[in-house]
Amino acid sequence: MPTRHDATTTLYLSAPEMIRLIRRKGLAACITGIAERIEREFLRWEAFDKSPRIASHSKLGVIELMPIADAARFAFKYVNGHPLNPARGLPTVMAFGLLADVDTGAPRLLSELTLTTAIRTAAMSALAARRLARPGSRRMALIGNGAQSEFQALAFRDLLGIRELRLFDTDASASARLAANLEGQGLRIDICRSTADAVRGADIVTTATADKANATILRPEMIEPGMHLNAIGGDCPGKTELHRGVLEAASVFVEFEPQSRIEGEIQQMPADFAVTEFWQVLAGRHPGRRSDGEVTVFDSVGFALEDFAALAFMAETAAELGLGEVLELVPQAEDPKNLFGLLGLVQPAQPAASLSS
């Protein structure tokens, strides 16, 4: 970390700098490191001040703020979701985030989070699947082959041992791009003609579609005993991917229940529909999967604690690699109470006019 980075300055990780960080650290190491950090933070679940994210919805998308804090650090993420953005040359999801000291409120890290969110989402998916999928799972169906898909594929390869991917997207070019990007990565890839074709015989099914709609990507007749469903596309009110019958026949796990009730797959279920927060599985308070034939669902909408973990990991990695730019994001004055004085608008005092007779 730059030597000038102290309590009065902020470390900035731009998108180009984040690309350098990921290349130097290695994508696999970043996915693994963030998964480990998420698990560590989830095991401190009760130490965090948690709330559902704050959302501003429009016809074309959503913009959200995601805050969280423990006794030492506060974090937030700004993130959008606009499915039509690629036609405008923009990503569907764009994000940045901040870490600050709780004791002083001083911002310590300002970072891009678009790339980092893709990595942390994949890390969270794989972490959940390690506890909820059948041991020995090797085949995954990936429905929706957009910007998240490569990260999901590699996380499941490295953290679960997935060796076969079955792909489907309504945009055939997206599946072709994904297959090309994953060439030589040790994965057998089949591009399928339909969702039903892709999920047939899969151990794990990941749904990552972008449309802001109450869709039914997966229907009950597609689900086989023992499947684990990693539903990451339903992440705002009015946006789902699973038929409610799929949820009724499965054990459902969520990140933060108050948020998932608003934004997740379970928004379509009654208020008394039983779900389990995933931290309870990590903490040994819930067994997770109970049998090989059980169908499990991870209803993932993304939660601020995952971003807290990702920001902390990236901050430590930047320090390790000497990356990042030091910003004076906050004005620095010799007298903190004299903010006006920084503007240099105070005129020197004029001597009083002399009195003459």
| 197 tagged catalytic | no
Backbone angles phi, psi at 139, to 5 degrees: -120, 125
3-state secondary structure of 297: strand
**Strands of 73-81's sheet in order across:** 54-57, 62-69, 73-81, 95-101, 107-112, 10-13, 325-327
- List Cα–Cα distances, 10 to 13, 266, 275, 318, in angstroms: 10, 39, 40, 13
3-state secondary structure of 325: strand
CB count within 10 Å of CB 251 equals: 19
Using left for φ > 0, alpha for ψ between -120 and 50, and beta otherwise, residue 167 falls in beta
Report the DSSP beta bridge partners of residue 141: 166, 205
Residues near 285 by beta carbon (within 8 Å), at least 6 away in sequence:
none
Please give the Cα distance from 60 to 53 (Å, whole number): 19
Nearest in space to 179 (alpha carbons), one of 126, 138, 232, 142: 142
Of 158, 169, 235, 307, which is the active-site residue? 235
Active site residues: 235
